[in-house]
Amino acid sequence: MDMEQEEMQFLGLIGIYVQSYKIIITWRKLFSRITLALILPLSIIFLAQMEINDILFYRIDRNEERLEHTPYNSPKYDKLSDLISSEWAFFFLFRLLYWTFVLVFSLLSTSAVVYTVASVYTGKHVSFREIISVVPKVWKRLAVTFLCAFAFFFLYNIVFTLLFVLWAFTLSGSDGVGPVTIIVLFVAYFIGFIYMSIIWQMASVVSVMEDSFGLGAMRKSKDLIKGKMWIAIVIFVKLNVSLAAIQILFQLLVAYGGGSAALKIGMGVLCLLLLLKLILMGLVIQTVFYFVCKSYHHQSIDKSALSDHLDVYLGEYEPLKEKDVQLQHFQV
């Protein structure tokens, strides 16, 4: 990075994007290898599952339609019923495998990119081979943080479901009050969902940068984003809207498109390239935003201490205590 940390607190949204772009361009060879090794499989899996989902749903829907016109308890009916059950079982197995692979490659990609940006910040020379050797160790910390976040999301959705059921039995039939209540309930749900997602994303960066992971990383993440919440929300919304746009583009022009095979292949490659750039840029932005938040709260990061902390993943140093890695307050 070409900025001192004390100056990073003044970066706005555009400044964060510019710094992220500069990092990627300056270290493009290293980021290109990370993209090919980790982000490319993630992107292919993400796009391919949409096409596979459509095929599986089409087969299930066609067989269920045939079942409706088949005499009940006839041999053909029983055969179609067993076939549909098998197809639904295969569909749920496919979804389970899909989410498993997405989770694994997402955590691996996050580990590699955040570690690389941290190394760039400290001026530490790092090779692709070193990054790959570090990723499994960092991945374990990120996995713990993810499990904590997943538990919070799970409980959050249970609470929302209970509130929705309560609304359905009490206020759903009330004139005026019922609709307003459900609108307020859903708005509050999405605000809370976005807030928790932002905390989880920042906690993922904290898990790599500091000697904290899991609940500890999420607590620090919550404190870090204070004062920078609106920037965090805009970054989150822009990245997710861009992801949705790529997904819609792929479905309209590739999955459901009626053009030639060459056109579908060309648009599929375009969507893949856009997705690769979006994921890489998003991960770098999250890491740069971490430094901005640290600077905003006047928490200076000693580069030599952070460098030693990163070397722990390589097995070159004994783990530092939190007070050594964490960072002292500087005066503005």
Phi and psi of 299, rounded to 5°? -110, 100
**From CA 308, how far away is CA 322, in angstroms rounded?**
12
**From CA 61, how far away is CA 105, in angstroms rounded?**
31
Phi and psi of 328, rounded to 5°? -90, 160
> What's CA 234's distance to the chain center, in Å?
15
- Record the pTM: 0.84
What H or E segment, with its residue span, contains residue 210?
Answer: none
Total domains, the chain:
1
Structural domain including 26 reads: 5-329
Query: 177 falls in which pLDDT band (50, 70, 90)?
Result: low
Per DSSP, which regions of the chain are E strands? 299-300, 328-329
Residue 153 has pLDDT above 90, yes or no: yes
> What's CA 252's distance to the chain center, in Å?
24
Residue 329 has pLDDT above 60, yes or no: no
Helix count and strand count (H, E) for the chain: 12, 2
Residue 273 has pLDDT above 90, yes or no: yes
Do the beta carbons of residue 76 and residue 67 sit within 8 Å?
Answer: no
Residue 300 three-state SS: strand
Residue 5 has pLDDT above 50, yes or no: yes
